[in-house]
Chains A and B, each alone.
Chain A
Amino acid sequence: MVRLITHNLLACHVKGCTTNNFPLTFQDVQIELQEAEFNPEFVRNLLSRLDWAALVDAAKQVGDTSLPPEEPEMMDDDLLKKLHHVLLEIHVIEGAMTCPNCKHVYPISNGIPNMLLAEHEIG
C-alpha cells in the first residue's frame, strides 16, 4: 500500500537523477481511509525519520490539511493522533507519483506502487 509513511521514504532512482528527487508528487490519486490501531509511542519515535515538509505537502495532495506547516517542538496527544491518521490511515489506492526533478512517473495500482525501472533507466 502507499501510505504517507512509505511515500516519505521513497525517492526517484532513475539513472542520474540524484538531486531534487524527493519527495515524489502524488497525481490523480484515489484514496481510502482505513482505521489503524493508535500507538503513540510508535508515532513519537518515528518522527526523527520523517521529512516534515514533505509529509505536510503530501498530506495536502491527498486532501488532508490537519498538520501545521512547521514541525512543532512539543508533540501533544492531539497532534500525535493527527500524525497517526496522516501517516497510517490514508491509503493511496490508485494514481501515480512523479519525480519533481526528472518527471519519471511511478504508477500506483491496487495499492501497490511500481518502482521498477526499464533497463536503460537504471543507474
Chain B
Amino acid sequence: MQNITPTVVVNDPQSYEDRHVHTVYDQIATHFSSTRYKPWPIIAQFLSSLPDGWIGLDSGTGNGKYLPLPVDRPNSILTIGLDRSRNLLEIARYAGNESQSHHNIREVVWGDVLGDVWRSGIFDYAISIATIHHLASYERRKLAVQRLIQCVSPKHGRILIYVWAIEQDKLSKRKLPLDDQQVHQAGQDVFVPWVMSHPNTKNRAKKHGDTLISNSRESEGEQTLKITEVYHRYYHMFAKEELTQLVHDAARELGLCIGSFEGFSEQHSRGIDIVQESWERSNYFVELKCWQSSD
C-alpha cells in the first residue's frame, strides 16, 4: 500500500522540483522503468491515428515507452523524447529494443519541458504523459501547456496531455487521505512514495541523504537484511476540470480561441479545439487540435 501525503510547495518551485522530482527520478530510474512498460490504450490509439511522415515530441518521455509506437507501423512517424532525467533518457534511447542493439535507437533530448528548444510550430504532434503534474506551480503548469501548443503546427498540430487525478480508480493501490471540497476544486499538492528494496550489500552505502533507510528482516528462515529506500515524488493531483481550465488559460494567453474551426473562423485566425477530454483510470486527459484560417 502506498500512502500519499499532502504537501505544500515552499520557496522557489523550480528548486522544489529539482529536489522532489528530478533528483528522485534520476535515483529510481532503472526500477521505475521496469514497472512502466505498458502503453496506455488511448495514447497508443492517438499515435496510431497519425499519418506517415509526421514528427512529434514526447515532452517528459520518461523511459520512452511511447517512442516506438505505433507497433503496427514502426518507423512511420518519428517521436522525439525530451526529459529532465538523464538516467531515464539513457533507458529511453533503447525503448522497445530489448537487446540494446544500435538498431532503432530512439531520438532523445535532455531538457526541461518549460524550455523553448524547438523551432516554433515545427512538430505535427506533441504528447505529454504524466509530466505536467510534476510542475510545482500553476504558472509553470500553464507554461508547460503553452510550450506544447507553441511547438506544434498552428495549422494541424495535435496534442495529447495526461495528468494524475484526485479522483482515483477503485483498483488503485494508492491510498488517498484527502476528501474535502477545496481539494476537489483546486487540486492538491502531494508526495507519493516510491519504495525500492534491495539486498543489503556493502557497496550500497547510505548515499541518499534525505531518504528514509530502514533495515528489516526477510521472512522467517532467511537471515539476509534488506534495505528499503523510500523516495518521495512531488505531484500536483488535478481536480475535475482543472486540466481543461489550464488549457483554456494557456491558449487564451497565447491569443488563441477555444472551439472548433467552424465555430470561430470568421472572427479569429487561430484557435485550438478540444477534441476529447475525459477521466481514465486515475488520470485526466485532454486531446487538442490546432487550426488556423487560411487568409
Is there contact, CB below 8 Å, between B105 and A6?
Answer: no
Q: Does A76 contact B (CB under 8 A)?
A: no
Contact of A34 among B84, B102, B117 (CB under 8 A): B102
Which residues of chain B from 98 to 129 have a CB within 8 Å of any chain A CB?
Answer: 102-112, 114-119, 122-124
Is there contact, CB below 8 Å, between A42 and B76?
Answer: yes
Number of interface residues of B (CB under 8 A): 38
Given contacts A112-B86, A112-B93, A115-B109, contact A5 B116 (CB under 8 A): no
Q: Chain B residue with minimal CB distance to A5?
A: B78
Is there contact, CB below 8 Å, between A45 and B53?
Answer: yes
Min Cβ gap A104→B in Å is 11
Is there contact, CB below 8 Å, between B119 and A45?
Answer: no
Q: Which residues of A contact B82 (CB under 8 A)?
A: 115
Given contacts A1-B107, A32-B102, A36-B104, contact A41 B53 (CB under 8 A): yes
Q: Does B51 contact A (CB under 8 A)?
A: yes
Q: Does A68 contact B (CB under 8 A)?
A: no
Min Cβ gap B56→A in Å is 11
Is there contact, CB below 8 Å, between A10 and B105?
Answer: no
Is there contact, CB below 8 Å, between A36 and B110?
Answer: no
Q: Which residues of A contact B105 (CB under 8 A)?
A: 1, 34, 91, 111
Is there contact, CB below 8 Å, between A35 and B53?
Answer: no
Q: Does B135 contact A (CB under 8 A)?
A: no
Cα A37 to Cα B77 in complex, Å, equals 12
Contact of B122 among A9, A45, A112, A119 (CB under 8 A): A9
Number of interface residues of A (CB under 8 A): 36
Q: Does A81 contact B (CB under 8 A)?
A: no
> Per-residue 0/1 for A80-123: is the Cβ within 8 Å of any B Cβ (1 yes, 0 no)?
00000000000100000000000000000011111111010011
Q: Which residues of B contact A62 (CB under 8 A)?
A: none
Q: Does A26 contact B (CB under 8 A)?
A: no
Cα A62 to Cα B161 in complex, Å, equals 36
Q: Which residues of A contact B106 (CB under 8 A)?
A: 1
Is there contact, CB below 8 Å, between B117 and A115?
Answer: yes
Contact of B119 among A11, A37, A43, A110 (CB under 8 A): A11
A-B pairs with lowest CB-CB distance, top 5: A45-B53, A115-B111, A13-B116, A41-B52, A115-B117
Q: Which A residues contact B (CB, under 8 angstroms)?
A: 1-3, 5-6, 9-11, 13, 22, 32, 34-37, 39, 41-46, 49, 51, 91, 110-117, 119, 122-123
Some 26 contacts from A to B, beta carbons below 8 A apart, are: A1-B105, A5-B78, A5-B107, A10-B117, A11-B119, A13-B117, A32-B102, A34-B103, A35-B103, A37-B74, A41-B76, A49-B55, A49-B124, A110-B90, A111-B93, A112-B108, A112-B110, A113-B109, A114-B110, A114-B111, A115-B82, A115-B111, A115-B117, A116-B84, A116-B111, A117-B112
